[in-house]
Chain A
Amino acid sequence: MRVVIAEDLALLRDGLIRLLEAFGFEVVAAVDNGPSLLRALTEHRPDVAVVDVRLPPTFTDEGLRAALEARKERPGLPVLVLSQHVERLYARELLSDGSGGIGYLLKDRVSDVAQFVDAVKRVAAGGTALDPDVVATLLTRHAAEEPVQRLTPREREVLGLMAEGRSNAAIAARLVVTEKAIGKHTANIFAKLDLPVSEDDNRRVLAVLAYLNV
Chain B
Amino acid sequence: MDAQAGRRAAGTAARGLAVAAVALAAGIPLLVITVVSLALIPAAGVGLVLAPVALLSVRALADQQRTWAADWTGVEIARPYRPEPAGRSPWRRAAWVLGDPATWRDVLWLLVNIPVGFVLGLVPGACLVYGLEGIAVAPWLARISGYGWGPFWPLADYGISGTAATLVLAALLVLAGLPLAPALLRAHARFSRSLLAPTRDALERRVAHLATTREEAVDASAAELRRIERDLHDGAQARLVALSMNIGLAEELMRRDPETAARLLAEARQASGTALTELRDLVRGIHPPVLAERGLDGGVRALALSLPIPVDVSVELPGRPDAPVESAGYFAVAEALANVVKHSGAARAWVELDHDGRRLRAIVGDDGTGGAAVTPGGGLAGVERRLAAFDGTMAVTSPPGGPTIVTLELPCALSSPRTSPSSGTG
Q: In the complex the two chains form, is A89's CB within 8 Å of B269's CB? A: no
Bound-state CA distance A53–B283 (Å) is 16
Contacts of A108 in B (CB 8 A): 272-273, 276-277
Q: Mark A31-65, 1 if CB is under 8 A from B, else 0.
A: 00011001000000000000001100110111001
Residues of chain A within 8 A of B301, CB atoms compared? 89
Specify the chain B residue showing the minimal Cβ separation from A145.
Answer: B310
Q: Give A61 to B310 CA distance when docked, in angstroms.
A: 25
How many A-B pairs with Cβ below 8 Å?
Answer: 67
Say yes or no: A140 contacts B308, CB within 8 Å: yes
B374 to chain A, nearest CB (A): 29
Is the C-beta of B298 less than 8 angstroms from some C-beta in chain A?
A: yes
A2 at the interface (CB under 8 A from B): no
Q: Digitize A102-138: 1 where CB-to-B-CB distance is under 8 Å, 0 elsewhere.
A: 0000111001100000000000000000000000010
For residue B294, which residue of chain A has the nearest CB?
Answer: A61
Interface majority SS (helix, strand, loop, mixed), chain B: helix
Interface residue? A189 (CB, 8 A): no
Taking a contact as CB atoms closer than 8 A, the residue among A65, A84, A90, A107 that contacts B423 in the complex is: A65
Known A65-B423, A69-B423; contact A60-B276, beta-carbon cutoff 8 A: no
Asked if A184 lies at the interface with its beta carbon under 8 angstroms from chain B, I say no
Q: A57 to B421, Cβ gap below 8 A?
A: yes
Knowing A111-B273, A137-B306, A141-B308, the reply to whether A87 touches B290 (Cβ < 8 A) is yes
Contact A85 B284 (CB under 8 A): yes
Does A4 touch B at the CB level, under 8 Å? no
Give the CA-CA distance A58 to B294 in the complex, in Å.
Answer: 11
Please tell me if the beta carbons of B421 and A34 are within 8 angstroms of each other in the complex.
Answer: yes
Which chain A positions have C-beta within 8 A of B290?
A: 85, 87, 89-90
Q: A60 touching B308 by the CB < 8 A rule?
A: no
Segment 300-325 of B: residues with Cβ below 8 Å from A: 301-302, 305-308, 310
A137–B305 Cα distance when bound, in Å, is 9
Shortest CB distance A136–B (Å): 11
Contacts of B420 in A (CB 8 A): 65
Chain B nearest Cβ from A93, distance in angstroms? 10
B289 within 8 A of A: yes
Assembly CA distance A88 to B302 (angstroms): 7
Chain A residues touching B, range: 20 to 34
- Per the bound structure, the CA–CA distance linking A111 and B267 in Å amounts to 12
**Residue numbers in A under 8 Å from B302 (CB-CB):** 87-89
Interface residues of B in 269-296 (CB under 8 A from A): 269, 272-273, 276-277, 280, 283-284, 289-290, 292-294
A38:B280 contact, CB within 8 angstroms: no
A193 CA to B257 CA, complexed, in Å: 53
Q: Is the CB of A111 within 8 A of B269?
A: yes
| Contact across chains for B423 and A34 when beta carbons are under 8 A apart | yes
Tell whether A191 is near chain B: CB-to-CB under 8 Å: no
By beta carbon, the residue of chain A nearest B298 is: A89
Asked if A85 contacts B306 (CB within 8 A), the reply is no
Q: Is the CB of B305 within 8 A of A89?
A: yes
Residues of A within 8 A of B (CB): 34-35, 38, 53-54, 57-58, 60-62, 65-66, 69, 84-85, 87-90, 92, 106-108, 111-112, 137, 140-142, 144-145, 214
B positions within 8 Å CB-CB of A: 269, 272-273, 276-277, 280, 283-284, 289-290, 292-294, 298, 301-302, 305-308, 310, 347, 420-426
15 contacts between A and B (CB under 8 A): A38-B423, A58-B421, A60-B293, A65-B420, A84-B283, A85-B280, A85-B290, A89-B290, A89-B298, A89-B302, A89-B305, A107-B276, A111-B272, A137-B305, A144-B347
